[in-house]
Structure 1
Amino acid sequence: MTKLTNSLKRYWQVVGLAVIVILGFSVFGYARTQVHAASGRTKIVFWHEMKGPGQKQLNSFITAFNKSQTKYEVIPQFQGSYNAVIQKIMNTHGTTASPAVFQSMDISSSQMYHSGYTVPVQKFIDRDNYDISQISSVARGVATRNNKLLAMPFNTSQTTLFYNAGLLKKYGIKPLPVSPSYSDISRVSSQLYQKSNHKIKGMSVEAYSWLFEQFLSNANEEFANHHDGHVGIADKVKFTGPVAIESMKWLQGRVKAGDFMNYGNSKNEMAAFLSGKLGLFMQTSADTSLLIKGLGKDLGVTYYPHPDGVKPNGISVGGASMWIANDKSATVQEGAWQFIKFLVSAQTQAKWEKATGYLAINNKATQEPVLKQLYAKYPMTKIPGDQLKSAKANYTNSGIFVDGVVAARALIENAMQQIYAGKDVKQSLQTAENSYNKVLKSTNRANGHG
């Protein structure tokens, strides 16, 4: 009897303890819920991929937005790389873990569109009569389908040519024009290499597919059929067109001449440039701020080059756009739209360009004092933005609207490495083209397009 009594006593002690724990969690959960309810704000979870200065400035914008109104609270969540976030969106859509608004890179636009997981921002633009003409047409092009804007461009960049104006002055070399041809660049590269007694390499172009794509864009040559996928499902790519062959033969020619150096990656390339061992290179305009810190007013900047005798067509943008998920309530979607409008306002975009080097996509941003002061102090910082404004959006300078472009880029970069190593240009590009056409066929079939 004593054993039974003791057992019952222990049983009720355990049960009592469990009840206390459960009640404790319930009270905590209730209190936590009440805190959010008392704020009266709708939570807008925002997934992004910004690091360093970009993340710091983005957080500042989020704080400012949250303070500017009382309806919504944007909660930023860093998600790693551009590629990683795509898979996370695909895996979490329709669950409580998915975001309300997210950044997605330019070449994922087709995948996001075909996923059916997003609300086109055109819906809100039409409803509000929002003046979309204030946003760069080329920046909008990459996320436009059937004349409807799917997502709002945000952290936008373009490829830009950087040169060391101080070195050119030292060796008495005429600077590059604002919109240089291949011959203009060859002249400067060769002269710098020769006049420095081969101590300074004239030029470098990283084996990076984005740069290859821009050679095509600037000469109005398509990367894929159906106008780079903008008017249908692309089922063929062409890496062996006249401009592709010409641009790669030009670079291979500079390798053979000795004034070109393949540094393997952008980090090594930039280090050589900042240390005065490299005269010019081509990379994202988002590097402008960093390069100014290293070279100051000795930094030279031009538009991306074009073939001799060819009128520049303009180049597409890189970076990412802001997409609104369709698995959230209308209230949450509205909050996401209000946040997006805040991010692309003239004032916000002016601060963004100054802090990060990304291009201000709001055409009115150049009238903001912060950019006027920047351009007055460092006139070269205005050139990438001028390049963006100089082009009229068309299919070949509006990005590639094709699923699975990441695989294509790997093949192109391998081809570029082979070309730099002296392999046949046409054969190297043809191999990449054939390989990706097989991948694209499989991708389209898997997505129900083939």
Structure 2
Amino acid sequence: MSKINTGHKINTSRFGRRTALGLLGAATAGVAAGCSDDYRQVDGAVPAKYTKRQHLVAWHSFSSATGEALVKMVDAFNSSQSEIFVEPQYQGSYEETQQKLSAAIIARQIPDLTVLSEVTWRAMHLADALEPLEGYFDDELKPEDYIEQFITEGTVKDHVWWLPFARSTPLFYFNRSVYAKAGLPDRAPKTWDEFAEWAPEIRGVKTAAGQVMPLALDGGYSAWYFQGNMWQWNARYSDGLDILLDSPEGIAAATWMADFVHKKKAGYLSAKSSIDFGNQAASAALMSTASLAQTTELATASKFDLGTGFMPEHESFGCPTGGSGWGIMANAPTARKQAAFQFLKFLGKPENSATWTMATGYLPIVKKAQQDPRLVELVAKDPNFSTSLKQLPKTKTQDLARLVIPDASNFMDDAFETLYSSNIAPERFVGQLAKKMRRKAELLEENYRAHYE
């Protein structure tokens, strides 16, 4: 295959990580005022043997092993039929992909379909940039074929805007070898209090990395992980756009987790928890299901036994869904939108969903994928691959404030990182963050009501 062109040259260097949503005001106006004839496809590269096919450009955010797994699936689709050629173009992180997509809409040069996270698809939905997909389903693929909570999460007002693909939840990863040395049970902790009690024994263990810390808290997507903490303390970020973070329960959650880090010395803010955990500098880490395949390899290389478990409880259980799915661009030509859905149908076949899960650790997206003999065999051989499936019925969609308030995911991440890395008073921290969220929510209210109520 020819070298992949990463798309037409949009100058995104002037758009910082925090400004993607600011572009969407202009993007909204561009989508609302235009029609598909006003937009052209971003630049691509088509191998000679595919030149007579319908050419689709698919933007994505998967790198390394996960990116290689996606390219293999795209190659399989291209080989499975003779009408469509899908060209995958890597655009960086979910946030970087959204920035480039916003700029592309303004420039009226768009891909045909794109991977969007559980946050960024909602921004594009509010910008009227996505095609409603319910009319594309047929007997080969129906909405009810998908795991219900995943297809429901991408549905607003009976319109399907976002099809699940790389869906995930947090898991509790732990080093079974360290736990054995510390004399602890061979399982994940059932509650946060139990884990705090285990912390002194864990700190007494040494590995090649030195003294082991109990838990690495990841420096990225902190607000996603803390969503689970909120529910565990019977708190919520919001009810719709009504901010509830600074409720007594929310303050209690922030206070307990700050003490967990600063007073109990049971956790710390890690620049990259997967690296610390893989190097055995930390006995445990909260990481996505998407980290499972790679972490399994790291554990094998570092010669320790890997364990996974449900998220610890407090007063209740709490664990959010996350990850990404596919959206088709509303202003792509009709023929390319129809072709794009054929690709999504291919990804929705049970055997292809199972292949993706086995290669990456992401959850299956269709129900029948769980019955694939290869996946059944893998789960039997390595029970870690079953943990996310068992936990899934207990998980739920995140509170909407983090998902729809412009830039909330980023400034909330920064805030929780500050909670773990500084001595800010938790009540003050919660009050400041809630105030900022309310201010941002007020600016969004009219657009939110138009799309969600």
TM-score, normalization by structure 2: 0.79
What residue number does 2:109 align with?
A: 97
For the Cα contact (< 8 Å) 1:419–1:428, is it kept in 2?
Answer: no
Secondary structure (helix, strand or coil) at the match of 1:153 reads strand
- 1:391 equivalenced with 2:394 (yes/no): yes
- 1:260 equivalenced with 2:260 (yes/no): no
What residue number does 2:62 align with?
A: 50
What residue number does 2:201 align with?
A: 191
What residue number does 1:7 align with?
A: none
User: Offset at 1:342?
Assistant: 0.8
Mapping for residues 10-409 of structure 1, pairs under 5 Å: 40-93=52-105, 97-125=109-137, 128=139, 130-176=141-187, 180-194=190-204, 199-207=211-219, 208-217=222-231, 221-226=235-240, 234=241, 236-266=242-272, 269-296=273-300, 298-308=305-315, 310=316, 312=317, 315-388=319-392, 390-391=393-394, 396=398, 400-404=402-406, 406-409=407-410
Secondary structure (helix, strand or coil) at the match of 1:294 reads helix
Secondary structure (helix, strand or coil) at the match of 1:93 reads helix
Letter in 2 for 1:291: T
Distance 1:448-1:151 versus aligned 2 partners, 3 A rule: closer
Letter in 2 for 1:124: Y
What residue number does 1:4 align with?
A: none
Provide, for residues 315-354 of structure 1, a one-character-per-residue CA deviation record: whole Å limited to 9, x for no partner: 3322211011122222211111110011122111211122
Provide, for residues 224-270 of structure 1, a one-character-per-residue CA deviation record: whole Å limited to 9, x for no partner: 232xxxxxxx2x4232234433332222222344432424422xx33
Q: CA RMSD in A?
A: 3.2
Partners of 1:36 and 1:95 lie apart in 2 by 28
Partners of 1:270 and 1:291 lie apart in 2 by 7
Distance 1:175-1:141 versus aligned 2 partners, 3 A rule: farther
Partners of 2:289 and 2:50 lie apart in 1 by 44
Partners of 2:403 and 2:47 lie apart in 1 by 44
User: Offset at 1:68?
Assistant: 0.9
Letter in 2 for 1:106: E
Letter in 2 for 1:156: R
Letter in 2 for 1:260: A
Q: How many residues in Structure 1 have an aligned counterpart in Structure 2?
A: 400
User: Offset at 1:55?
Assistant: 1.4
Letter in 2 for 1:187: E
Partners of 1:206 and 1:423 lie apart in 2 by 19
For the Cα contact (< 8 Å) 1:200–1:277, is it kept in 2?
Answer: yes
What residue number does 1:21 align with?
A: none
User: Offset at 1:383?
Assistant: 0.5
246-255 or 329-338, larger mean C-alpha shift: 246-255
What residue number does 1:410 align with?
A: 411
For the Cα contact (< 8 Å) 1:221–1:396, is it kept in 2?
Answer: no
User: Offset at 1:78?
Assistant: 1.6
Provide, for residues 42-62 of structure 1, a one-character-per-residue CA deviation record: whole Å limited to 9, x for no partner: 111111111111111111111
User: Offset at 1:447?
Assistant: 8.4
Partners of 2:181 and 2:363 lie apart in 1 by 31
Distance 1:195-1:319 versus aligned 2 partners, 3 A rule: closer
What residue number does 1:229 align with?
A: none
Secondary structure (helix, strand or coil) at the match of 2:405 reads coil
Unaligned runs of 5+ in 2: 1-45
For the Cα contact (< 8 Å) 2:166–2:324, is it kept in 1?
Answer: yes
Distance 1:37-1:160 versus aligned 2 partners, 3 A rule: closer
Distance 1:399-1:331 versus aligned 2 partners, 3 A rule: farther
Partners of 1:299 and 1:413 lie apart in 2 by 30
Unaligned runs of 5+ in 1: 1-33, 227-233
For the Cα contact (< 8 Å) 1:165–1:299, is it kept in 2?
Answer: yes
User: Offset at 1:196?
Assistant: 6.4
For the Cα contact (< 8 Å) 1:138–1:397, is it kept in 2?
Answer: no
Distance 1:131-1:447 versus aligned 2 partners, 3 A rule: closer
Letter in 2 for 1:189: A
Partners of 1:82 and 1:132 lie apart in 2 by 25
Provide, for residues 18-70 of structure 1, a one-character-per-residue CA deviation record: whole Å limited to 9, x for no partner: xxxxxxxxxxxxxxxx9989954211111111111111111111111111111
Larger radius of gyration: 1
Distance 1:343-1:53 versus aligned 2 partners, 3 A rule: same
Provide, for residues 160-203 of structure 1, a one-character-per-residue CA deviation record: whole Å limited to 9, x for no partner: 111111111122211335x8222232233343225769932222
Letter in 2 for 1:85: T
Partners of 2:399 and 2:416 lie apart in 1 by 23
Secondary structure (helix, strand or coil) at the match of 2:110 reads coil
Distance 1:130-1:398 versus aligned 2 partners, 3 A rule: farther
- 1:436 equivalenced with 2:437 (yes/no): yes
Partners of 1:426 and 1:160 lie apart in 2 by 28
User: Offset at 1:219?
Assistant: 5.9
Q: Identity of paired residues, percent? A: 18
What residue number does 2:8 align with?
A: none
For the Cα contact (< 8 Å) 1:412–1:432, is it kept in 2?
Answer: no
For the Cα contact (< 8 Å) 2:116–2:326, is it kept in 1?
Answer: yes
